[in-house]
Structure 1
């Protein structure tokens, strides 16, 4: 007891009673701290688990988004290829139509003089 009295000798009387009271209640106070520690650790573990789950969810959604972007990029390349093919075919058809028109004009011109000369 002498050491306890020496330890508390520098405190004011009301501080002395508060600290002595805390030491007297010892095991009960210690169990309260243990409960508080358990609840804090449990809350931190729960928040950590929630963070991990959120990270996993975000990673999964990010991967899905990347896959969709990749798919749309490939689709865009395919559509661009089709457009190029259609433009090339359109150009070929235009050239072919011009050649057919030219052939038809030449044929008509060849036939027209013979029709005109037969009429005279």
Structure 2
């Protein structure tokens, strides 16, 4: 037990000597720690700034993409409207063409008896 206590006492003395040595070299060790602390803080600040810039860039690109999607949705609705208008016009043209054919047939039919009677005389 006495040996154990003696070993502990020696370790405590060694630690005290190391602390005293650090205090004797104090300004240089402390300045090194301050430099290291400064570098770490600057690196963290740089990473935070880079992360914020990346977040803003992504947010901006997301907003631009949303605007493009909105524009394309409106364009799709416009094109769909045009298609339905073209189909309606096509149907109207088909109906008008059919009416014109009927009118032409009636006209030709009415003219045929007169042609027939004029050729007979």
Normalised by the length of structure 2, the TM-score is: 0.80
Aligned to 1:33: 33
User: 1:36-115, aligned counterparts within 5 Å?
Assistant: 36-115=36-115
The change in CA–CA distance for 1:58 and 1:19 in structure 2 (over 3 A counts) is same
Contact 1:8 1:16 in 2 (8 A): no
Aligned counterpart, 2:3: none
Runs of at least 5 residues in structure 2 that lack an aligned partner in the other structure:
1-6
Give me the CA root mean square deviation: 2.5
How far has the Cα of 1:22 moved from its partner? Answer: 3.6
Task: Provide structure 1 residue ranges, at least 5 long, that are not aligned to the other structure.
Answer: 1-5
How far apart are the structure 2 equivalents of 1:45 and 1:116?
Answer: 104
Aligned residues: 113
Determine the C-alpha separation between the residues in 2 that align with 1:28 and 1:58: 44
* Alpha-carbon distance between aligned partners in 2 of 1:98 and 1:47, rounded to the nearest angstrom: 75
**Deviation of the 1:38 alpha carbon:** 1.1
